[in-house]
Structure 1
Amino acid sequence: MDISAFQPIEAITADTPEEADRLRGLAVEALDYIQSFVWCPPLRQVLLAYGIDGVIGLFLVRFAEPAGGVDDALWVVSGDVPPAYFVTDEAPTPLEALTTYCDLMDGWVEAVLDDGDLDEAFPVNLTPTPEHAVALRAQLGFIRQLVSNQSLHGQP
């Protein structure tokens, strides 16, 4: 995985100082989320891979020792979307990671709207109501549009 364009969270830069502060806030949310799990090993490095001010932050979290003896890094998403973590194996680039995030959340949306089995869906920290599912679907559409635009103009 090429991480040369990623930014260490302690050195996040953006178009304005205020935007950089908000992206650092998303980093704090991502750290709080991943470190809330008892299995989370000590962190070695946290990098901003992609961020949209106030909307979404995609972070590569690298561990000092493999989580569960397997994963030495995970993607973590935070922002104005439900937080999530997932492995990097199937999504080695930010573009693929954002697509994976949308696919995971889509499973939850479909389960909620179709009265399906939420035990089979990715766990989402929202009350499973049609209103939440529709709102999340709209957010995912926005993220997918960003991904589509980025794939036409170079990766995030």
Structure 2
Amino acid sequence: MKSAGNRNVRRVDAMIKYPVNYKDIQPDIDFYSELPGVYRKAEKYLLDFKWCAAINDSFLYYNLGEVFCIFLFEIDNTQSQEDNFLWVIVGDIPSMYLDVYGPDSTVEVLEDYIHLAEDWIAHVKSKQSVDECYPFNAEPTIELAELLEKKVSFMKNTLLNEMEDISLKRFK
């Protein structure tokens, strides 16, 4: 996991109106050179699930490049035709998907990520099983829990206060 470092959390690409269809991303968007790698990571994450037969479309809702992005994917879901839209959180953190029946906006997506990560961290640090936690693709070690805890602190203390709350309804 990378540090957020000196990244300006406020969007400096204020002329860009989110969400942006990934196919329409232009070089004037922040972190343009990092987005293909972040997108491929999100795409691979979803396609690794047996129920994700294909990705039909994708939209970038929040962009801090390889540090933190929120995408909305439209997929071909072999297990549920009603579950064809998923939020995907990806960056220098363990990736996560959330269905759109829970969080309805970027802030709610981030709040859910924080809550689920804090639960996982608490279980790891207290040496409890993580079987009932969100299934992060990360080894449940104290070292990783402490690193994720720092990322979650940044999310709570900085991202939540600076993030534009973009609703899924705006997309529909």
| TM score, norm. by length of structure 2 | 0.78
Q: Does the 8 Å CA contact 1:46/1:61 hold for their aligned counterparts? A: yes
Matched, 1:121 2:133: yes
Per-residue CA deviation, residues 82-128 of structure 1 (Å, 9 max, x unaligned), is: 01111111211111111111111111111101112211111112221
Matched, 1:49 2:48: no
Change (3 A) 1:34 1:109: same
Change (3 A) 1:72 1:66: farther
What is the aligned-residue identity percentage? 26
RMSD of aligned Cα (Å): 2.0
> How many aligned residue pairs are there?
149
- Relative contact order, CA 8 A, sep 6+: which one is greater? 2
Distance in 2, matches of 1:130 and 1:64, equals 37
Comparing 64-73 with 49-58, greater Cα deviation is found at: 64-73
Greater helix share, 1 or 2? 1
Distance in 1, matches of 2:27 and 2:150, equals 26
Query: Counterpart in 2 of 1:6?
Result: 19
Corresponding residue to 1:76 among 88, 97, 116: 88
Per-residue CA deviation, residues 53-94 of structure 1 (Å, 9 max, x unaligned), is: 220111101124575333120111111000111111121111
Which stretches in structure 2 are left out of the alignment for 5+ residues? 1-16, 167-172
Which stretches in structure 1 are left out of the alignment for 5+ residues? none
Matched, 1:155 2:162: no
Change (3 A) 1:135 1:32: same
